[in-house]
Chain A
């Protein structure tokens, strides 16, 4: 991890030295400057860089903490320029600025916050005898009414505040898009939230389409919390022209903020306390923290965790906490509930708000005393971002309390906070060439005019994510969209575009295509939900995911909406259950919670820490010395240091070793339920996801059995049959000869993950529509399983674009193929050592893995053999019955 990009790539200019106050303010119109000086004592750090740069029409990325005046930093020079146009009578009724944020709530805030200077500057100017026209600002999001849209069409705003999805829609709005031709500035907010996912890629294609529509160069301004590497974010924002990134100035003032980071455990010993004691103590601590301040923001890592914390606090201290002063805020809650919580936060009415991720973005939350993080946030950047929500303003120290919930959590947090103090960030990566996102935009583009492949490719390749898109890849996507996988006469139903390979042109096709585009665009997938009904009266009680249903068998008990149910049967994507008997416990965990993954960089740091501590234990260092070292090197309390020491000592005493840096320790072990191969491989779950499947398929081929896998950030475990015979050394040698990518592809094909992600990609690629011919198709009404659709597509063409994208998404976005490859290369080159041990019961470091439960399964490659074996087993059981 690097503190900052060490070399500036040609197109990017890293600014370290701010402009002077005078240099900055002199770029503003006098009345704008007067307004600023009347209202603010001084420029904030981002403003000292940005005013001049923006006024000169430079592209710029500004990263800094919340409350550092980033919005004005981006907008002040723009407003000044707009007023100047107005003064000269040159301001048209057209759009000049497009502001995009990932959140509607943030859009609302920005509009409110810009209204103040817009009104006040005009007033101030008029007091000085200058008449300025009104600068109009409007929202354009999914929540905006059609009458509001109509009035925007009659009289457009000068500043349009929107979301990535709505921007993609208005790019295709026949009349309204004409107003976009005058756009001179684009502001992308919360860029750290967009740069590393498909939603961001979707936006970046919209930006290039907008650029193409406008013709002359648009100034691009990116705002966000800090992220690494900034050059990656810059490429994402400004795109490419003539084979090089467009110029971009990079301003990083994020480290001007000071942080106070504290790590605690709810109980003295995380291992010898029961779950009840742990929870009891957690809530007591939370109560104490909340009582001390005015407003506390609490982050958990999951939505269900958020709900649990709110529920228990209200239950235990009913006289103190109620719906008026304590609430949850997460993505599954309705918009009204979230808005209410946000408003109460701003007004200072809340004692505490508990959130999963939704409040980590820059919505205005008013004053927060402190932030509490329960469990590891899994990345340094996220930790900083969340803690940064506290404090009055930019100059205050942000206070964060981290509560470790288990021993791995504790070690992880300890190393993470030290990395944060040393300002080491984990890195982001822009997804490359997602074909499903591209499919949407190709349909959108074809709606506006006829394109040549060449012209379209040049637009698309100016987008960083598609820099390396080949003509073949593009043409295969065009062929798919043109419906070439069905006979000519059916293409009028299947085709969304026409494509003429003879002269390399494509364009719009089908009368429903425009509607399909409007109603189905976006990168956020709908989950396939199966309705659940309670027997005997078949009362609807909620939904579960399709993939979850696939795993249920009659008699299984699972949680839904906080209650336990017993699965009876399913029919046509409907699931029937009855209340579970009193005192029963769930037999099926929820696998697909998609936990936040630990970053690779941080994982390697924890490896180093493990090694350091091992060396001390091996070297016979005394407990006191080690605890002293922990306390001074990681700024932790005696209790925390002691707990970490005990954890490592137990592992060391039990196995006589501890996996260190650039090491994988394979532990062959068992418990009363199963045999395991535990890989102590601390690489983060994205890498481990790939490695575990790779190794499990080697084992599955060897044993010719199905293998269960459990994956965590600190390693993975393979669940093996009751009796087996496996030569580990041979396995390791074999692993060196196999190609990771092809082994994984072959494996992924047969997993739950594949079905689920395929469904997402199919929806994004318009293969399976969510909305068609004016009515919404709910996925569960289709009565067609993802497996069936997948089978048909695979049968037709194993290289179908939607299928290819599914593999790419799984291997590169869900898993981290690149770094998994790196790890295997390290093994081959001998840089990374693999050691093996055998234990009778799992070692302490393996416990968290074993209790996680099975996560996915690698099926034996030979289906025939699998079925014959299954048949044999079942017949044995049956004959026992008869």
Chain B
């Protein structure tokens, strides 16, 4: 189908269909973020007893990703929804997930997110390192909740973050709201490239980015260093496919 082509955000940085993942062709890497495994368990602790579907859905998506035969998978933060000092049992989903991922990708990079305080307990078992940022050629990949150490270094040209869970809210003539997850991409104030990926999580509670004032955004990188209204919006929806909406600033004005 025509809609099922790769869409280029920047040269070598592409999105396929409506999968919330970035394909970096020149370095053969796929970047996903905000997996939020163990979400249901955390909710059950709070008295909301949801069936578990997240794990299954994410593994299925990952299987699709593995078919592209890229070498590296970057898990860009918030793999687990909530880490507490709790039982081994709570980590099971992450363990199983990493187990599965290892069979599908040659390299796995784990970037720390704001929820990942205790993650090394699990990653240890796989001899995987957890980093705050990773540079692959000209890409700087970091979760986005803090400014990474190398943010001001000049040797990278594109920064990739997650954390924000961007989505856009659209209203039709009857006032009905539809909410779509989206990629944001464009420039930082200093002219370098920025991509914000949507959450890989099936249960995503995203920022309605076109309704929120800039100062309410979560990531300091977006709040302080990006030309937010100049960022372009590529929405993804399982049924409708990817939909390009142009500049965020315009989308703000018409809603």
Contact = CB atoms under 8 A, between A and B. Distances in A.
Contacts of A560: none
Contacts of B176: 706, 857, 859
A721 B173 CA distance: 9
Given A553-B175, A867-B178, A570 B48 contact: no
Interface string B36-75: 0000110111111111110000000000000000000000
Nearest to B212: A569
A551 B177 contact: yes
Given A553-B175, A792-B50, A795-B53, A878 B246 contact: yes
A493 B253 contact: no
Nearest to B254: A877
A17 interface: no
A489 B216 contact: no
B48 A788 contact: no
Contact of B50 (A707, A789, A868, A873): A789
Given A569-B211, A571-B207, A874-B245, A881 B253 contact: yes
A493 B87 CA distance: 13
Interface string A789-830: 101110111000000000000000000000000000000000
A341 B133 CA distance: 65
Contacts of A767: 48-49
Interface in A765-789: 766-773, 777, 782-785, 788-789
B243 interface: yes
B174 A769 contact: no
A871 B245 contact: yes
B41 A490 contact: yes
Contacts of A127: none
A159 to B, nearest CB: 37
Interface stretch (A51-59, A250-258, A331-339, A479-487): A479-487
Given A487-B52, A553-B171, A870 B178 contact: yes
B251 A878 contact: yes
A572 interface: yes
Contacts of A873: 172
B150 interface: no
Contacts of A524: none
A410 interface: no
B52 A864 contact: no
Interface string B235-251: 10101110101110011
A572 B174 CA distance: 24
A554 interface: yes
Interface string B171-196: 11111111010000000000000000
User: From DSSP, what is the main secondary structure of chain A's interface residues?
Assistant: mixed
Contact of B46 (A571, A782, A874): A782
Contacts of B174: 706-708, 719, 854, 857
Contacts of B245: 871, 874-875, 878
Interface string B189-215: 000000000000001010110011100
Given A550-B177, A719-B174, A782 B254 contact: no
B211 A782 contact: no
A483 B49 contact: yes
Contacts of A489: 89
User: From DSSP, what is the main secondary structure of chain B's interface residues?
Assistant: mixed
A571 B212 contact: yes
A773 B246 CA distance: 48
Contacts of A772: 46-47
A706 B172 contact: yes
Contacts of A791: 203
Contact of A863 (B51, B240, B251): B240
B212 to A, nearest CB: 5
Contact of A864 (B48, B50, B240, B251): B240
B227 interface: no
B255 A788 contact: no
A494 interface: yes
B170 interface: yes
A875 B203 contact: no
A90 interface: no
B51 A796 contact: yes
Nearest to B241: A864
A719 B247 CA distance: 32
A553 B176 CA distance: 10
B89 A777 contact: no
Contacts of A793: 50-51
Given A792-B51, A792-B53, A874-B170, A571 B216 contact: yes
A788 B251 contact: no
Interface in A456-487: 483, 485-487
B243 A867 contact: yes
A789 B170 CA distance: 21
Contacts of B43: 784
Contacts of A866: 172, 178
Contact of B205 (A768, A783, A854): A783
A526 to B, nearest CB: 13
A573 to B, nearest CB: 9
Contacts of B216: 569, 571
A766 B48 CA distance: 8
B46 to A, nearest CB: 6
A487 B253 CA distance: 47
A721 B237 CA distance: 25
- A-B CB proximity, top 3 nearest: A772-B47, A769-B47, A867-B240
8 contacts: A487-B52, A719-B174, A789-B48, A792-B53, A857-B175, A871-B235, A871-B240, A874-B251
Interface of B: 40-41, 43-53, 89, 169-178, 180, 203, 205, 207-208, 211-213, 216, 235, 237, 239-241, 243, 245-247, 250-251, 253-255
